[in-house]
């Protein structure tokens, strides 16, 4: 289980446009990584749209938002376009990054991400862990915590 102030696990995942992203790409800025179960489902859409609507507030806090699920890049592209998401969605179909963050749920051959989030500081260390997330309130919760952490 990951702990606060521990180095965040690295990842190498593709976005909706098949561009490779690594944790190191986000050095020197704050990063919110949010894991979510599935594109185009009610709770995941609610959470993504709340993050979308608050995107300017995250930008003002020098923070990038990245969503990760086990859906593939094509699914992410459709979801991102449909909801006009201004942030990156990363595909983790093998579940390796999700597992490294303790966010992978497996039931036989079925695997998906649990709704967990992490705030990573500019040095790449975990500043906050959320293991219980309410989709409609989470964006505001993240913004408040980022404000507190950056004081």
In degrees rounded to 5, what are phi and psi of residue 78?
-65, -45
Q: Is the pLDDT of residue 18 over 90?
A: yes
Dihedral of CA atoms 113, 16, 66, 25 in degrees, nearest 10, equals: 120
Structure confidence at residue 1 (pLDDT): 86
Per residue in 27-57, pLDDT tens?
Answer: 999 999 999 999 999 999 999 999 999 999 9
Q: What distance in Å separates the CA atoms of residue 23 and residue 122, rounded to the nearest whole number?
A: 11
Q: Is the predicted pLDDT of residue 110 greater than 90, yes or no?
A: no
User: Domain 12-149 belongs to what topology?
Assistant: Glutaredoxin (3.40.30)
Strand extents, DSSP E, 62-103 = 63-69, 88-91
pTM here is 0.96
CB 11 within 8 A of CB 94: no
The upper half-sphere exposure of residue 102, i.e. CA atoms within 13 Å in the direction of its Cβ, equals 11
Catalytic hit among 16, 44, 119, 120: 44
- 149 membership: H or E segment, kind and range: helix 138-149
Give the pLDDT confidence score for residue 150 in this predicted structure.
Answer: 96
Q: List pLDDT tens digits, range 64-102.
A: 999 999 999 999 999 999 999 999 999 999 999 999 999
Tell me if residue 49 is catalytic: no
Domain coordinates in residue numbering, the chain? 12-149
Confidence of residue 109 (pLDDT cuts 50, 70, 90): confident
pLDDT digits (tens, 9 = 90+) for 3-17: 999 999 999 999 999
Q: For residue 107, what pLDDT band results from cuts at 50, 70 and 90? A: confident
């Amino acid at each position: 289980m990951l702990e606060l102030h521990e180095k965040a696990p690295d990842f190498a995942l593709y976005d909706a446009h098949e561009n490779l992203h690594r944790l190191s790409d986000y050095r020197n800025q704050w990063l919110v990584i949010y894991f979510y179960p599935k594109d185009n489902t009610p709770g995941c859409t609610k959470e993504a749209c709340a993050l979308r609507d608050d995107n300017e507030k995250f930008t003002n806090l020098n923070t990038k938002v990245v969503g990760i699920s086990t859906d593939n890049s094509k699914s992410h592209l459709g979801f991102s376009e449909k909801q006009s998401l201004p942030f990156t969605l990363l595909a983790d179909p093998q579940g390796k990054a999700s597992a490294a963050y303790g966010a992978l749920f497996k039931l036989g051959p079925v695997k998906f991400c649990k709704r967990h989030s992490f705030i990573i500081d500019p040095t790449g260390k975990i500043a906050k862990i959320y293991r219980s997330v309410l989709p409609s309130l989470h964006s505001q919760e993240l913004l408040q915590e980022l404000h507190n952490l950056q004081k």
